[in-house]
Amino acid sequence: MSLVATAGLLAFVVRHVGLARLGAALRAADPTWLAAALALNLGIHVFVPAEKWRRLLGRLGHSLTFGESARIWLGCQPLRFTLPMKTGELFKVVYLEGVHHVPPAVGTWALVFDKLSNVVALMAFGAAGLLWAPLGSRVSLVIGLLLLPSPLLFANVLPARLREALGALPGRLGRFARELVDAMAALPTAVRLKFFAVSLLQVLAEAMSFGVCLRALGVHAPALDVLFRTPLVILLANLPVTLSGIGTREIGMLWLFSAHGSPEQLAATGLVLSFVGPVLLVLTGLPFVGGFFAGAFGSAAGAARTDGARVEAEAPRE
């Protein structure tokens, strides 16, 4: 369905803009600014998140080198690209357990906290963007409601409350819940706020990336417009509709930046953003996919065989 939605939205954009005009806008792009967008996006989408995730795992008691963190990050990109809402990233948890013996609850919390802090940062800028560029009461209400529970992300009281609520769960589920709560408690509020500050800086860097791509296509939008409208485009692209936001990103550019450029310039900017973002990540990650799959799925299969052999060895003989 995501593939169909992606193709449909891209076809709509091409029909709305015109293929010849879209092609002309892409050919007119400034190569220097395109190169800057390429370099900036590699930093935003590879080096910064890989290092942030590595430090987050280190805070939870599991150290990785930056090289290993980056290899995992890149090797997971095809799954992240194809599965909705970036759920493919959950396979990082499988890899960490199989290769580095990180408990699934710890890997899950590192992943969830990282994503939630990024979403809350986007929502905060998105709320400011709605004030800067009103888009209607319904959109404002949705973002406001999504922001309401965000303080829980930083509350020290939450692990204790969850420990009380989940403490009675039996078996593996209970063990997972207890380990998850312990991992949450291992990140005090001050540490969570530091990682959240990095998420805010990532949003600022994304806005800079949008500004560079707009400039490459000849669009000169005011800096504040770029800063406050970019998170709204990103939030739109994160809806579980298309493959990694391809299609919805282009629609968002046409909608939110219509006052600053022609339709063909804005559609071309969306396509460039889709390339230097998710598409480029998949291409960059291809050399690392084999190692990631072998580590994630091979280690999981090996662990299952080992568990089976252990159970068989411990079984009483007749």
11-28 pLDDT per residue, tens: 999 999 999 999 999 999
* Residue 1 pLDDT > 80: no
- The residue type at 58: G
Nearest-angstrom CA–CA distance, 21 and 75: 36
Per DSSP, 45 falls in state I
**pLDDT confidence tier of residue 315, bands split at 50, 70 and 90:** very low
Type and span of the H or E element at 162 = helix 157-166
Whether residue 179 contacts residue 102, with contact meaning beta carbons closer than 8 Å, is answered with: no
Among the listed residues 253, 248, 212, the one whose alpha carbon sits nearest the alpha carbon of residue 230? 253
Q: Reduced to 3 states, what is the DSSP secondary structure of residue 63?
A: coil
Q: How far apart are the first and last CA of the chain?
A: 53
DSSP states of 251-307? HHHHHHTTTTS-HHHHHHHHHHHHIIIIIHHHHHHHHHHHHHHIIIIIHHHHHHHHH
**Which tokens belong to 299?**
């280690």
**What average pLDDT does range 108-113 have in this prediction?**
91
Q: For 133-161, what is each residue's pLDDT tens digit?
A: 666 555 666 666 667 667 777 777 777 77
Nearest-angstrom CA–CA distance, 280 and 5: 20
Most confident of 78-82, 86-90, 123-127, 285-289: 285-289
**What average pLDDT does range 79-108 have in this prediction?**
87
**What average pLDDT does range 174-187 have in this prediction?**
84
**What average pLDDT does range 67-74 have in this prediction?**
94
Backbone angles phi, psi at 245, to 5 degrees: 80, 5
Q: For 253-265, what is each residue's pLDDT tens digit?
A: 999 899 999 999 9
Among the listed residues 203, 157, 164, 163, the one whose alpha carbon sits nearest the alpha carbon of residue 179? 163
pLDDT of residue 307: 44
**What average pLDDT does range 191-212 have in this prediction?**
94
pLDDT of residue 75: 92
Per DSSP, 87 falls in state G
Nearest-angstrom CA–CA distance, 22 and 314: 67
Backbone angles phi, psi at 103, to 5 degrees: -55, 140
Q: Reduced to 3 states, what is the DSSP secondary structure of residue 105?
A: helix
Nearest-angstrom CA–CA distance, 144 and 31: 40
**What average pLDDT does range 95-118 have in this prediction?**
92
Nearest-angstrom CA–CA distance, 120 and 237: 15
Average pLDDT, the chain: 85
Q: Reduced to 3 states, what is the DSSP secondary structure of residue 56?
A: helix
* Cα distances (angstroms) measured from residue 59 to each of 44, 62, 155, 183: 22, 7, 17, 10
**What average pLDDT does range 84-113 have in this prediction?**
88
User: Which residue matches tokens 């190169």?
Assistant: 35
Question: Is pLDDT larger for residue 274 or for residue 306?
Answer: 274
Whether residue 71 contacts residue 55, with contact meaning beta carbons closer than 8 Å, is answered with: no
Question: Is pLDDT larger for residue 132 or for residue 60?
Answer: 60
**pLDDT confidence tier of residue 184, bands split at 50, 70 and 90:** confident
Q: Reduced to 3 states, what is the DSSP secondary structure of residue 244?
A: helix
Nearest-angstrom CA–CA distance, 127 and 123: 6
Question: Is pLDDT larger for residue 153 or for residue 77?
Answer: 77
Backbone angles phi, psi at 262, to 5 degrees: -75, 160
Nearest-angstrom CA–CA distance, 212 and 43: 14
Question: Is pLDDT larger for residue 194 or for residue 169?
Answer: 194
**Which tokens belong to 297?**
């799925």
Whether residue 269 contacts residue 37, with contact meaning beta carbons closer than 8 Å, is answered with: no
